[in-house]
Structure 1
Amino acid sequence: MDGKKKNLTTSWGAPVGDNQNSMTAGARGPVLIQDVHLLEKLAHFNRERVPERVVHAKGAGAHGYFEVTNDLTQYTKADFLSEVGKTTPMFIRFSTVAGELGSADTVRDPRGFAVKFYTEEGNYDLVGNNTPVFFIRDAIKFPDFIHTQKRHPKTHLKNPNAVWDFWSLSPESLHQVTILMSDRGIPATFRHMHGFGSHTFKWVNEDGDAVWVKYHFKTEQGVKNLTEEVATKIAGENPDYHTEDLFNAIGNGDHPEWTLYVQIMPIEHAETYRFDPFDVTKVWSQKDYPLIELGKMVLNKNPENYFAEVEQATFSPGSFVPGIEASPDKMLQGRLFAYSDAHRYRVGANHNALPINRPRNEANTYQRDGQMRFDGNSGDSVYYEPNSQSGPTESHQNKQTGFPVSGVAENIPYDHNDHYTQPGDLYRLMSDDERERLVNNVVGAMKPVESDEIKLRQIKHFYKADPDYGERVAKGLSLPVPQNV
């Protein structure tokens, strides 16, 4: 600041003569419609909130950088991963999934973990969670699932009957439900949790050779979680606890870090692996595909303005760069469309032109017009393609790699339906104390369910994963242990 006081102006730059009193016809009015400054203030105020996200509404963000620490160019030609020591600016948004914009940070819910890399070849968005799996594996079930996490249309209250009815009828959810109800269900802070790409993606190298890949961000702060009792207490005292913690840590110079690892699967292994590698309700065993270090992520700068940078930030798992492509994961395939479409509705058709979303390299498209076009709209440059006016053209070397497809076009389910081995393995990996807390959390969440039929149906899933798991939940709910499972 140069110390010189600035004049208050309208949005079109005209100086404002009075910002304290409306223009009226005499001392008692009425107010005159010619007070255009008043009308502008009120009209803009009515429009100061864009629609909140349907999911991941409550969140916090930060700027930082990603640095490559290991050469994996044998697997991918992605330029931002091309050499050890190369750094790429990035922005991250952490969030809860189901709650509204004003909900508490410390609820039992998965956390969004969305990273935008501003690479020299365009933006790459890795839009994941703090869990390696998800509740469902086909996007056609996503609207129904999210409806169960929202409020009852009559009572406008959360509805545990819908939650457990859906989960008990969707056994593929058991793995994620077990994680959610475990100690990991409520992270102590955003800084003290891992992050995952969750889906399987494809990496392609300079020679066109491909592999399947999964991403794992491991926190360098250590994993810390909250008990149900502590989380509830904090929610009542400071519902913005996680948001505040992240902002203060970065502001105080305590910059959080994550190390990014990948699992690499040879392309042909997808046909024979014991679990479908494109099923997002399953993980790949790290014994089969060990973690390989790729780089580190450091968060070192807070946003200057929450709305401009965090609320207007848009992420899409379809924002790829050369060397990184999609897999046949059905849930991922649906998200490739749904996320960008949500942004076009919520923020506008030109959301990628906003500073927080704009790529650092020049974007050359034939997209024109639309609401809130504020960047010159490409002037008088050619606006169609093909053209003979030297407009931008495609670069054939960056075409996505092909892959064989076959079969009849129909509604085909996944052909791997072992929903119990991995949740059971996870349960047996837990200590006795962890199992006790898991069961207590499950019992506490299921007690409000009015239907014993729903409870018993869900108990059978727990029992199939591990008999001890099912028996302890049944006992906690004072229900019989399932027979003939």
Structure 2
Amino acid sequence: MKINEQEPFENGANPKQEQLGKYKGDSHGEFMTTNQGLKVNDDQNSLKAGERGPSLLEDFIFREKMTHFDHERIPERIVHARGSGAHGEFQLYKPMGKYTKAKFLNDTSVKTPVFVRFSTVQGSRGSTDLPRDIRGFAVKFYTQEGNYDLVGNNTPVFFIQDAMKFPDLVHAVKPEPDNEIPQAASAHDTFWDFISLMPEAMHNIMWLMSDRGIPRTLRSMEGFGIHTFRFINDEGKSHFVKFHWKPLQGVLGLAWDEAQRLAGKDTDYHRRDLWDSIENGLYPEWELGVQIVPQEDEHKFPFDLLDPTKLIPEEMVPVEIIGKMTLNRNPDNFFAETEQVAFHPGHVVPGIDFTNDPLLQGRLFSYTDTQLSRLGGPNFHEIPINRSIPDVTNNQRDGIHRMQIPKGKVSYHPNSMAQGCPFQAMMTEGGFTSFEERIDSSKIRKRSQSFFDHFSQPTLFYNSMSVHEKRHIQNAFSFELGKVQRVPIRKRMVDMLLEVDEELAKKVGDHLGLVPERLPQPITGSIPADGDPAEHHSVKVELPLSEAPSVSMANKLPDNIRARRIAILTADGVNDEAFTRMKKELCELGAIVQIIAPRHGFVTTKSGEQYPVDDSLLTTASVIFDAVYVPGGEGVHTLLEHSGAIHFISEAYKHCKPIAADENGVELLTKSIPQLAVPEDGIVIDGEVQEFAGAIMLHRFWDREMNPIPA
């Protein structure tokens, strides 16, 4: 069947789920077998020459079992090794035929299956979910025309402009090779040595040092395609496009101290939160947005659209929302799906094409190359999670782990013996054709002068931050550079910060005992080995706007409390009415409400009702929750004598979270927070549900950071 003859996906059906179904196995009620289907009589003992004799080489059942075990781990990804995945669907809001002929972007009745993998970048598979790090955000669309992979991050820009520098970037940020320290952390000498010599990295560094570097959850972070791609319509007309994922849960971050404590309490916090949300039916949702620039407007910006260290501010080109993605099913097997899924920015469909972004061009090679090594050969596309829904029909043959069984004598084209099959598809039949772009130039190892502005957008980013966001960036730089052992590297970075913002440089310099000094102008960086340094001078251009509110997380809070985690801290003797009312109404608003008590088991209310305890003060912590409520009653007396309860409240206050209390529950607040002054923003003392919910929507009350308490 030709692709263009394929029936559209039925509305409500999930063809990828049906396709994966035939690969799933459930051993319940079945006999144990070898990999060849032979029933196993004894899986407890190896074959021996007598009960106490030597094991025999002829024990093929043992050899098969042990050989498979010895090889059950595949090489982990060089970057993005630590990941979490989920299945879902994407549905279009409005047809985009004016810009692209991609079928999944033109039929609003189709629910396109997707698989999404989120990841950290630096750490190994066994590292924590919670380092300060860029997060990967990769989406595989199983479309009618084949797989389309939108491979991005939770920042819209990247550290480098040319893929030639990617190995250097990764080598610098990974654990230092002499001692393999530190794991999953950029706070060390080699990383900042590299960054201090690469001014093009400054924009993405600003995003990394902001609250974006530590998302509250995977559900509450934005995703970006990073590169400028092309949309191609039926007439062959090109538009430049940048992709955005906008979470309907809002864009939320963790406080640095909170992230450090969470890493100790629950290394798998992000992974667990994503899994539990889906299991509980609180499906994460993102809207897909696009920024579209006509081909003829390519050079109308004060920056280069092909520079991956630059974004297009939404204030200059608004994001047009075109559809929604919902993650609604967890993987059945982590290894088979999340670990073996293979993404590639070169997996596109007709209507989506590449630009000459030099980082993107390098990625088109690198991703295939690394999958060949990681997944054992050229047939990684046949692993069930990677299979396209349309049948694969081509003349590629053999190779390790081949699953498909092609029939017939012919495996070449052109041919007459198979009547020319498989046919080439004309453009009118859905065939992919590359955008025709005239290129008349010399082969050269250089960058365009339009790539040399390294500081105007970092300055724009910093100017766009709220007061508390600026404070967090200052503290992040101070911590990271404070871990650097070589003072000249620290000094070089602090001096470079002057090019971004004088206040930022002075604050960080003061923390490090350094005085920022203006570097000789212009700054040089990424100089070709045989080039004149004067040919690659950094410049700073004037942007038409001084701030871009769209990049501030403070402007991206949700208008609901859906899937927020609320702790009800209580003990036996709690008053029934306030306790049950708060729990019921918060659940109706979509929050995840958990009862936390001094011990596991049940909490008994004043009237004798019993409620199961979700977690105890021995095994949980306030950092896992978004807000805390203390109902009144006799249980408060128990909590007042419990050091864990006092710490729970004081820590929640320290991390600027909403806290509510009823009746004598306020006594626990005042004992835990000596400087508490009521009324105070984010503190609800009458147990009013709507007021508490309104405070939860605001997420944090950052002014408390100016009057910190030990916790």
TM-score normalised to structure 2 length: 0.67
What is the DSSP-based 3-state SS (H/G/I as helix, E as strand, rest coil) of the residue aligned with 1:289?
coil
Which of the numbers 86, 101, 106 marks the counterpart of 1:62? Answer: 86
Q: Which moved more, 1:20-29 or 1:388-397?
A: 388-397
Q: Which has the higher contact order (CA 8 A, sep 6+)?
A: 1
Which of the numbers 120, 127, 145 marks the counterpart of 2:151? Answer: 127
Matched ranges for 1:274-313 at <5 A: 274-313=302-341
2:122 matched to 1:98? yes
Identity of aligned residues (%): 44
1:325-363: CA deviations, max 9, x gaps? 011111000111111211111113111111111001111
Q: Tell me the distance in 1 between the aligned counterparts of 2:400 and 2:54.
A: 35
1:101-157: CA deviations, max 9, x gaps? 000001111110000000000000000001100111110000010011212221111
Which of the numbers 324, 331, 334 marks the counterpart of 2:352? Answer: 324
Matched ranges for 1:174-323 at <5 A: 174-323=202-351
Q: Tell me the distance in 2 between the aligned counterparts of 1:39 and 1:156.
A: 35
Q: Cα 1:8–1:468, aligned 2, differ >3 Å: closer, same or farther?
A: same
Q: Tell me the distance in 1 between the aligned counterparts of 2:328 and 2:409.
A: 39
Tell me if the contact between 1:70 and 1:293 (Cα under 8 Å) persists in the aligned partners: no
The Cα of 1:72 is off from its aligned counterpart by 1.7
1:7-44: CA deviations, max 9, x gaps? 11111111111100111112222111111111111111
Q: Cα 1:2–1:403, aligned 2, differ >3 Å: closer, same or farther?
A: closer
Which of the numbers 456, 467, 471 marks the counterpart of 2:506? Answer: 471
Please name the residue that 1:349 is paired with.
Answer: 378
Please name the residue that 1:172 is paired with.
Answer: 200
The Cα of 1:401 is off from its aligned counterpart by 1.6
Q: Cα 1:144–1:4, aligned 2, differ >3 Å: closer, same or farther?
A: closer
Which of the numbers 339, 343, 366 marks the counterpart of 1:338? Answer: 366
Which of the numbers 394, 414, 421 marks the counterpart of 2:424? Answer: 394
Please name the residue that 2:6 is paired with.
Answer: none
Q: Tell me the distance in 1 between the aligned counterparts of 2:178 and 2:287.
A: 46
Aligned AA (2:426): H
Q: Tell me the distance in 2 between the aligned counterparts of 1:12 and 1:28.
A: 29
Unaligned runs of 5+ in 2: 1-24, 521-711
Q: Tell me the distance in 2 between the aligned counterparts of 1:387 and 1:456.
A: 67
Q: Which moved more, 1:143-152 or 1:210-219?
A: 143-152
Q: Tell me the distance in 2 between the aligned counterparts of 1:426 and 1:279.
A: 17
Tell me if the contact between 2:138 and 2:152 (Cα under 8 Å) persists in the aligned partners: yes
The Cα of 1:4 is off from its aligned counterpart by 7.8
1:298-345: CA deviations, max 9, x gaps? 000110111111000000000010000011111000111111211111
Q: Tell me the distance in 1 between the aligned counterparts of 2:510 and 2:422.
A: 67
Please name the residue that 1:451 is paired with.
Answer: 486
What is the DSSP-based 3-state SS (H/G/I as helix, E as strand, rest coil) of the residue aligned with 2:227?
coil
Please name the residue that 1:412 is paired with.
Answer: 446
The Cα of 1:214 is off from its aligned counterpart by 0.2
Q: Cα 1:208–1:484, aligned 2, differ >3 Å: closer, same or farther?
A: closer
Q: Tell me the distance in 2 between the aligned counterparts of 1:285 and 1:226.
A: 25
Q: Tell me the distance in 2 between the aligned counterparts of 1:201 and 1:2.
A: 43
Please name the residue that 2:459 is paired with.
Answer: 424
How many matched pairs? 484
Q: Cα 1:414–1:11, aligned 2, differ >3 Å: closer, same or farther?
A: same
The Cα of 1:2 is off from its aligned counterpart by 11
Q: Tell me the distance in 2 between the aligned counterparts of 1:4 and 1:319.
A: 38
Q: Tell me the distance in 1 between the aligned counterparts of 2:505 and 2:26.
A: 68
Q: Tell me the distance in 1 between the aligned counterparts of 2:211 and 2:294.
A: 33
Q: Tell me the distance in 2 between the aligned counterparts of 1:4 and 1:149.
A: 46
The Cα of 1:381 is off from its aligned counterpart by 5.2
What is the DSSP-based 3-state SS (H/G/I as helix, E as strand, rest coil) of the residue aligned with 2:363?
helix
Tell me if the contact between 1:420 and 1:461 (Cα under 8 Å) persists in the aligned partners: no
Tell me if the contact between 2:498 and 2:518 (Cα under 8 Å) persists in the aligned partners: no
Tell me if the contact between 1:69 and 1:85 (Cα under 8 Å) persists in the aligned partners: no
TM-score normalised to structure 1 length: 0.97
Aligned AA (1:275): F
What is the DSSP-based 3-state SS (H/G/I as helix, E as strand, rest coil) of the residue aligned with 2:150?
strand
What is the DSSP-based 3-state SS (H/G/I as helix, E as strand, rest coil) of the residue aligned with 1:271?
coil
Q: Cα 1:153–1:394, aligned 2, differ >3 Å: closer, same or farther?
A: same
Tell me if the contact between 2:496 and 2:519 (Cα under 8 Å) persists in the aligned partners: no
Q: Which moved more, 1:401-410 or 1:59-68?
A: 401-410
